[in-house]
Amino acid sequence: MQQQDKTYQDLINSLQAASALLNLESKSQIYQDILAINNYLTNPNFQIAVFGPFNHGKSTLLNAMLGNRTLPIDLIPTTGAAITVKYGSEVRTRIMLVDSTEIDRSGTEILQKFAVLDGNRQMRQDVTSVEVFCPHPFLETGVEFVDLPGTNDREEQDNLVRDRLLSADLVIQLLDARKLMTLGERENLRDWLLDRGIKTVIFVANFLNLLEPEEQKQVQNRLLFVAESFRAELPSGFSNLYRVDALPALRARLKGDVAEANSSGLAAFEAALQNIVGILHPNRGSVRLPRVQAIASQIQLLFKAKIDPLISEIESFNDKQKAKIEIKQKAANLITKGFVASVEELRNWLTLTNLLTKYQTDAAVALAENNFRSWQVNTLKKDLIDLQQAIVKWLYQAYEFFQEEQPEDLLIPFPSEPQITLPPQPSNTDSLSETGSIAVGSGIGWLLGGPVGAAVVGSISYLLNKNIQEQDEKSAKASYHQQVAALCIAATENYLDRFSSQGLSILAEYEQKAKNVIRFQATKEPLEIANKYEDLQRLQNGFNQLLQKLKEAGINSQYQPYQEIAKHQNTTWQYSPQPEKTTVNNTKKTVESPSPKPEEVEAKFRAWELDEEIARMKAQMHNSGKKQQTNQAPKQPKTQAEKDQLTRAYSILGLQPNASLAEVKQAYRTLVKKWHPDLFVNQPQMQKQAQEKMHQFNEAYTILSTQN
């Protein structure tokens, strides 16, 4: 019993919490049903309600069962309140008023003032409860009778009856045999009883004695049909239909006429009623829980009406955020890929070995010709700027896309120009007679001037040639112009070494700063969504708690618990530089090829593809809240000029008309790799032809990509 009481109390708490979460109006029917169910579950007594339209003899039947005129009866609707009849050692009445005043009187005369309809057939508004105590042995077993106002009279009375029926363990529906089961009675049976899980119902037919014998037989058949149509949940072996002539039964009881009481049907009904109660009372869970299930089902529907739209809205927001994050992640990966490749290209360029291989000869010659500054600006600086801009471009792409930290420009300064101190020049030596003294070009002058300067320039190439240098190391003594050439070579090597070290250091610092540029954070959820998420959690918790308490009470539900929706996380992504590879510098030289390699052209094309993909994703981000169109048909040209333009574009790329965008891209890629102007830097005529073709390819690609 204690466990059952705890289960009921848990249900009550859960229903009350649900009412608060749903913000139910206190005057709403579901709110009143919850109150009725809560009162029902806390009532230890077995309550029997007598229910039916006015003037059906409800109070008369109860008085007959109690054996006296305990309750007010008259020819007009009289009962103006729900009167609960309980066990007491003497007959007395207790009335509670709205202002908490308690009126306790001996007998039942006070009912005429507080529990009867007034002259306008209105109920009193200041009465909250009416109780009558009576020393009847049936009541002493823990049974209560409830005499309800008649229905089909006033809406206010109907509402009171409807509310009180929910807290009755057993309902006696009184029928008038003269007008059996009117439309209103059928509607009340369906709406007030069946739909709310109240199926412990007994039908009692009154006034059958007022009909002729032949009419009684016809009515009996109709009564049987009514009883069989309604499948009452009563103990096995008991009928749900009885005949009681209420007024003759009351008269028989007042006179003590047992035979007349039996002939009125009262004795048979009382015996059946006591047996039914004796079975149902100890097992009230089977009676109560269906009522709870019916109300809980309505509450769950109200929960779902609030929860499901919130779920849809939050999931829609999360889906949009996820789509944006995926786009940003792809963009971050593309930008990182391009940035890393550009950084790696500059880093390789800055390694001393590569700088010496590519620039030392020209640098030393420029130094020998007193033209080092011009060489630095026109050659070394130009190449450096191109490489620096290739890196910075990616950071500005990141800033434009993610709007995090604005990047700084990458600036690698040049070391001070190399200085050399000339050794004393021998006056009696014909330096031009030495091996490797031939000048590398005509009209070259140097600080030394004349043929000696030209010889120094020639010796630079001589000394930087690996094989000759190795042979030269075996010579006993270097010539003067070879000594000067060696000084120029050493000075430029020192210059490039300083440039390499400083450049690599600045590049490493710049790459670290890129972390704050190539990064993004998921958009913080709006306050409106955050509040809705909190509302959703509260509602889901309330729904799931109610579901759990119903399960613990043995009440089945058609619903499953809600799973918590993962809250939108403020994702942060940041570029992480890879550990710098250790590069071993060496001064071994290789002959540089003046033309770019095919893989360099491929790298440039990939960079172009990255730019195009990032631009596409920017447009997608801009339209992320709009419905995406799939399998969209290409735009159809309107004029003949447009048709001719498309035909020519397809022809230039070597495609059939109406080729797909993927085919257009592939054709364009193939042609660019074949005709990129950088492939023909040493072939002026071919380079000019390639430039013309690239112009045509670009124009055709632009037309067709826009069309598709």
Q: What is the pLDDT of residue 119?
A: 56
Residue with tokens 């020998």, as numbered in its chain: 368
Instruction: Read off the pLDDT of residues 598-639 as tens digits, 9 standing for 90 and up.
Output: 555 556 555 655 666 666 666 666 555 444 444 444 556 668
Mean pLDDT: which of 1-15, 201-215, 590-604 is highest? 201-215
Do residues 583 and 503 touch, judged by C-beta distance below 8 A? Answer: no
Q: What is the mean pLDDT of residues 68-79?
A: 55
Q: What is the mean pLDDT of residues 200-214?
A: 90
Whole-prediction pTM value? 0.61
Q: What is the mean pLDDT of residues 375-386?
A: 94
> pLDDT-derived band of residue 695, with 50, 70 and 90 as boundaries?
confident
Q: Is the pLDDT of residue 547 over 60?
A: yes
Q: Is the pLDDT of residue 539 over 90?
A: yes
Lowest mean pLDDT among 212-216, 555-559, 625-629, 644-648: 625-629
Domains along the sequence of the chain with CATH: 43-283 (3.40.50.300), 351-521+574-592 (no CATH)
Q: What is the pLDDT of residue 513?
A: 92
Lowest mean pLDDT among 41-45, 470-474, 580-584, 662-666: 580-584
Hey, is 241 helix, strand or coil?
A: strand
Mean pLDDT: which of 150-159, 428-437, 447-456, 627-636 is highest? 150-159
Which residue has better confidence, 108 or 706?
Answer: 108
All residues at 6 or more sequence positions from 438 whose CB lies less than 8 Å from its CB, including other chains: 455, 458
Q: What is the pLDDT of residue 562?
A: 93
SS (H, E, C) 644-688: HHHHHHHHHCCCCCCCCHHHHHHHHHHHHHHHCHHHHCCCHHHHH
Q: Is the pLDDT of residue 377 over 80?
A: yes
Q: What is the mean pLDDT of residues 168-176?
A: 92
> pLDDT-derived band of residue 1, with 50, 70 and 90 as boundaries?
low
265 conformational bin, left if phi > 0, alpha if psi -120 to 50, beta if neither: left
Show contacts of 282-290: CB within 8 Å, 24+ apart.
Answer: 284/46, 284/169, 285/4, 285/553, 285/554, 286/233, 287/169, 287/170, 287/200, 288/8, 288/40, 288/41, 288/169, 289/553, 289/554, 289/555, 290/197, 290/198, 290/199, 290/233
Share of the chain above pLDDT 90, in %: 31
Q: Is the pLDDT of residue 244 over 50?
A: yes
Residue 99, burial from CB neighbour count under 10 angstroms (0-12, 13-18, 19+): exposed
